[in-house]
Each structure stands twice: as C-alpha cells, then as structure tokens.
Structure 1
Amino acid sequence: MNKELPISKHPWDEIDDDSYKALSKEEMELLRKAKPHNFKLINSWWIVLSQVALTLIIASACFVFSKQADKSVYTYSALVGGLIGFLPSALFLVRLEAAKKNVKSGPGGYLAAVVSGEFIKILVTSLLFIGFALKQPDLKWIPLLVTYLATLKCYLLVWFWK
C-alpha cells in the first residue's frame, strides 16, 4: 500500500489575494510622494566615511584610556582594525562605481561586478589580516578586532538611520 503523507499547511503557504497588491507606476509615484522618507537612498560612501570616523573614535579612546607604555600599540592596533574594516568596503564601492559607468554592461554585468567586488572584499580582508599578523607580531588583537567588528556594524547603524 502506498500511503501519501499529509502535507502540513502553514499560514505562509497560502497567499490571499488581499495580502499583496501589484502597484501601477502612477500608484507607486503617489506612494513615493506620500512617504518620501521610506524611499530615500543611502549614499554608500557615507558608510565608508562612518567606518573611518568610528575607527578614529575608537583609536582615540584607546589612546586616552591605555597605559602610557601601551598607548602607541593599542592606538595602532585599533587603526589597523579599522583599516581592515573600511579599505575592502571602499574597494568594493570603487568596483561598483566602475560597473555603473560601463554603459555597455547590463544587469548581468552589474551582478558580475557585485560578485567580483565581494570576492575582492573577502580576498583583501584575508590578506590584510594575514599580512598584519605576520609583519606586525606586536599588535594587540583585542583593540584590532573590536575596531574591525565595529566598522562592520556601521552597515547596520546606517540602515537604522535611514
């Protein structure tokens, strides 16, 4: 005997016709005019600028609150962590800007630019971590990683500001 298993029904499996509506171009323009703050774009360079600013703030805090003998090492480590955070982001944006300026490129070309930009970002981040770990063995990893992780959280902060 071949028994069929019952298919579980979840609320998200069933879509009501009232749960969504495709808007026309005119309706979309009216919605944009009614709620312009929901449609404003964020300039991606502001994210990189906020990463640089946060790096400088954390490095300054490391300089102020560390012991006299460790001031330069902690400050330098925080600056390196910030550099590892914002340099790959800046390179990614440069890659996307180059793809936007390429008139011949279509959506597939822009997608390829996003993928290659992410690859560049991962590669540069890895190389910077490895390079600084090998060439600067006296770095303090806690301020470096705290600053690096803080620069990564700038994406979330800018999203909340929107």
Structure 2
Amino acid sequence: MIHKKEHLAPKPSWQELDEEADSFRTYSREEMEVLKGTNRSAFSSMSPWAIILLQVIMTLVMAVAWSTFANPRGLSVYTYSAFVGGFIGFFPAALFALRMGLANKQKNKSPGSLLAAVVSGEFLKIAVTIALFVGVALSYPDLQWIPLLITYVVTLKCYWLAWFWR
C-alpha cells in the first residue's frame, strides 16, 4: 500500500532562489584574519615583479646556455638572439605590471575601472609583443630565430612556476 504524502511545503520560486544565491555576507577584519589563519595558502599572492625577475633570470640563464653550447662559443649571434627573445618575453609583462600598479593606486577604485585596467593592460602587452617581434624581424635579419623563440617560450613558462610556488 502506498501512503499519501502530507501536504508538501511549497517549493521556492526561481526568483527566490536567485535572490538567495546573490546574497553574500560581509566579514569583519577579525573574521577574515581567522579565515586567513586556517588556510594561509588560499589567501597568499605573489608579486608580479617576482615573476618578472624570474623571467629576467631565465633570460640570462638561456643566454649563457646558448653562448656555452652554440657554435661558435662565447658572445655570438645566438647569445644576442636569446637576449632579444627573453626581452620580448619580460618587457611586455613589466608594462602590464606597471599598468596594474597604476590602477591599484587610484583613489576611486571600482570593479569597472579595475576591469578596464586589466583589458587595457593586456591589449598593451599584446600590441607591444607583436611590435617587438615585427621590429626585430625587420631590423635584425641576422638574428637566429631558434634561440630567440626558445628563450621567449621559456620566459612565458615562468608564469606556470608561479602557480607551483603559491
């Protein structure tokens, strides 16, 4: 025998569910400190300048590697190509970090202004990267592209290392 269920409570409407999902709680400074203390790694951040420093170091390491293992040894076109590839990797990232630093110093920060800073910073980063590649290709035809591109890719992979450090 199947029993009839008692009157069920009415289900909330979609609008009520949306309002419930949109609600949020503001934490006090003390509550945030307790939260940060329980899971410090979730609240840690890394300076973009530390990543850019790592990119510069990797550029130097790659340049030394190309000058050591390339033929001819020493300062050659391979070394200079590696330097240029690394520069194309870290210089636009430094410009982006400067742009974000300027956005953080604004007095009246809003989510829209921060989003505009991120978008304009990324546009600047992409435009400068393309301009540097085109400028290098047109101005220095004797550079070696293999060391340039490998060093460029190595500097870009420094972002992945930041995830592991965090």
CA–CA distance in structure 2, aligned partners of residues 100 and 159 of structure 1:
22
Q: Which runs of 5+ in 1 are unaligned?
A: 1-21
Is residue 61 from structure 1 mapped to residue 65 from structure 2 by the alignment? yes
The CA deviation at 1:66 is 1.2
Is residue 145 from structure 1 mapped to residue 155 from structure 2 by the alignment? no
CA–CA distance in structure 2, aligned partners of residues 100 and 38 of structure 1:
21
Identical columns (%): 53
Aligned partner letter, 2:143: L
CA–CA distance in structure 2, aligned partners of residues 33 and 143 of structure 1:
45
User: How far does the alpha carbon of each residue in 1:56-87 deviate from its partner, in whole angstroms, 9 at most, with x for none?
Assistant: 00000001111127841000000000000000
Aligned partner letter, 1:146: I
Alignment length (residue pairs): 141
Question: Which residue pairs with 1:161 in the alignment?
Answer: 165
CA separation of 1:156 and 1:33: change in aligned 2, threshold 3 A = same
Q: Which runs of 5+ in 2 are unaligned?
A: 1-23
- 2:76 is paired with a residue of what secondary structure? helix
2:58·2:155 contact (CA, 8 Å) conserved in 1?
Answer: yes
Match of 2:139 among 135, 151, 156: 135
- 1:68 is paired with a residue of what secondary structure? coil
Aligned partner letter, 1:131: G
2:99·2:117 contact (CA, 8 Å) conserved in 1?
Answer: yes
The CA deviation at 1:38 is 2.9
CA separation of 1:105 and 1:30: change in aligned 2, threshold 3 A = closer
Query: For the pair shown, which has the larger CA radius of gyration, 1 or 2?
Result: 2
- 1:142 is paired with a residue of what secondary structure? helix
Aligned partner letter, 2:102: A
Question: Which residue pairs with 2:110 in the alignment?
Answer: 106
User: How far does the alpha carbon of each residue in 1:76-127 deviate from its partner, in whole angstroms, 9 at most, with x for none?
Assistant: 0000000000000000011111111111332111110110000000000000
TM-score by length of 1: 0.80
Match of 1:81 among 80, 85, 89: 85
CA–CA distance in structure 2, aligned partners of residues 70 and 38 of structure 1:
45
Question: Which residue pairs with 2:97 in the alignment?
Answer: 93
RMSD value over aligned CA atoms? 1.9
User: How far does the alpha carbon of each residue in 1:5-38 deviate from its partner, in whole angstroms, 9 at most, with x for none?
Assistant: xxxxxxxxxxxxxxxxx88737654332122133
Question: Which residue pairs with 1:43 in the alignment?
Answer: 47
The CA deviation at 1:44 is 0.9
TM-score by length of 2: 0.78
